[in-house]
Structure 1
Amino acid sequence: MNTFPKGFKSCSINAGIKDHTLDFTILFSDVRASAAAMFTKNQFCGAPIVIGKESVADGYLQAIAVNSKNANVATGNKGLEDARKVTEAVAQELAIHSNDVLPSSTGIIGVPLPVEKILTAIPGLKNQLKEDGLEESAKAIMTTDTYPKFRTRQVGSITISAMAKGSGMIEPNMATMLSYILTDAAIEPPLLQKMLKRAVDVSFNSVSVDGDTSTSDTVVIMANGLAGDVDLVEFESVLTNLCIDLAKEIARDGEGATKLVEVQVTGADDDVIAKKIGKSIINSPLVKTAIFGEDPNWGRIMSTIGNSTDKVNTEAVSVSFADVYVFKNGAPTEDKRAELEEYLKNNEVLIRISLGDGPGTSTVWGCDLSYDYVKINGEYTT
């Protein structure tokens, strides 16, 4: 049985936004909590992003209200008004200030939020809040995800619980898809923000399914302090590993995906170049389709490396699939087609790229590109 952070409760319901599955959830802290967040850089960000930035600006939150099935994006002033109405209704139900409620939405873009359905469903939800409902909340935030993504970790007497959703339109830019992290540790907001940024940079910002930065990307952490102080170094390490774990699950559950792809880049001039090359590999349709088809066409990787930056010494490059080298120190190895064909049957594929002896490194995660990805997105609104 999972242990959950002290002082947090949640409830999840079906408000009838699109179908009969869970589509609305509230995450609530008994006390105001230190808070930090990161959001999408997409200029067509959702209305909840605008309000969420205002809510978390002072470094404190007490509740997060999330709806799935509708992103409330590209909905004009009406979308902003609707998001505020939901925020205010949740605050009234919970008897807290509306500035302490962060709204969040995910789903179809450009369709007005069925706000009356949500507003009708909110009264009475305070009585439905429960201490063991976080895993149910992880289900309520799903859209095309095939399974909920939820993890809990301990740091001494401190507990961290985190959930995430994301399956398509995944290419975060200083944010994540949707992820909510709750902890009973006592950490001041400025430090919490720094920790979150560092953790996100090597986790959610290092994953891509299809290269499209969502309009609704949000990651939020609330720390209510009810379990006391924590070793900050250990806490950040556990937080980072937790985020990496969830990021990998998002890549693994990419729309139509059959394989998780990990790309490790070393020897670059700096970490930025290493990540740029790694992202280029996992975003290349040619590479992704070859991996789906289990086709050992490693030349596509070489082409992508050469096209992703002008800071590559081609004579120093080495590439391997796990321990099977196809290119070493600027030259191809002996034919490894049979070994590669066998390796590519695995549901996890590791590609290692060495660019020389520079200090820059990066690990990124993605997935293959299957027929089902086209089918899922070709029928998304219907």
Structure 2
Amino acid sequence: MNERILVTGIGMISPAGAGAEPFWADLCAARRRFEELTPLYPGMKPGVLGALVPGTARPAGTRRASLFAESAALEAIRDAGLAPGDPSLLNALVCVGTNDGHADVLEDLVAGRRDLAGTGGFASSDIADDVARAVGASGPAFTVHNTCASANVALSCALEMLRAGVADTAVVGGCDTYSEKNIIGFSSLHAIGPVACRPFSRERRYVTPSEGAGIMVLQTGRAARGRRPYAELLTVAVNNDARHPTAPDPEGVAGCHRQALDQCGLKADDIDAIFAHGTGSRANDSIEGSIFAETYPHAAITAIKGTVGHLMGAAGAAGAVASCLALSRRLMPPTAVGADEVELDIDLVTGTARAVPRLRHVQNNAFGFGGHNAIAIFGAVTGDG
């Protein structure tokens, strides 16, 4: 039998600021912090909305992806009752998912705004190394790139390595910073604009890009003994349908849902709540929502990108942190749309946060360009860790 893998600490930096609590407060209040982004090239339509980490929480300097990840990681280890260099962290695994990596450095170099010697470089592998250095870990450290499914893929890697006995503790999650390349790419696809993301709404039209990082401390049952975990990470299913560069494939997405349930021996009716990928795009929400309507008719669904925006490679990490808070507090935050807007016959939480006293299993979806699909399932913890 696989050893239990428990979430003992969480950390977050987002448009709500530094910290998991401000992030959770914004989610529960459906409080948006979207702002107009500066056009990046002649002809780019003005008024495009985005969500940025506020200046009061925004680390100074380049390589902001590392700085975001370090901030969230330090909060997560403190939350787990640890400190940098703690014996529990010395051989810890560090795994971080990202989409754009050190995009700010590379873009500055290409635009001639900065000299390479003063940047520290732009290798994405540095992100995991920087986090490991910040928390005092000398175990395996690596960065994964799986577009917007990256953070959940990082969770999958950490889960397998902990179960294989590579380490007893992992510091794992995802990060991404504002990227000009990303904004220009989404603009060329007409996927961003002046209207906020409205997941699963009949009126949905645009994605709202965002930035930040979410990090979790995962520990085996024996390493977590004596701590009060948020949740148990039961499984992470990962597949890649590779059918289209940008459009999701219905069968690939549905297959990932089936794989996640099969891997942890659950049925669809066992899933009480789902943090949807819910980008607010026509294609994603239609495919994902149809699966919910057909397979998970009794699950409470929420889509936090309508509140916090799309954190790209950190999107799955934001959903994972929110999933753990939902399980520990038996509460599901609302989607920032009106109940009368919901397109499909799904139980979308809207209006106010919903108490779910018997919340047992929460699913966290993350999908990305190129056919990347990754779904994590968390379970409520009963008894001692």
TM-score normalized by the length of structure 2? 0.24
TM-score normalized by the length of structure 1? 0.25
More strand by share: 1
Task: From the CA coordinates, give the structure whose radius of gyration is larger.
Answer: 1
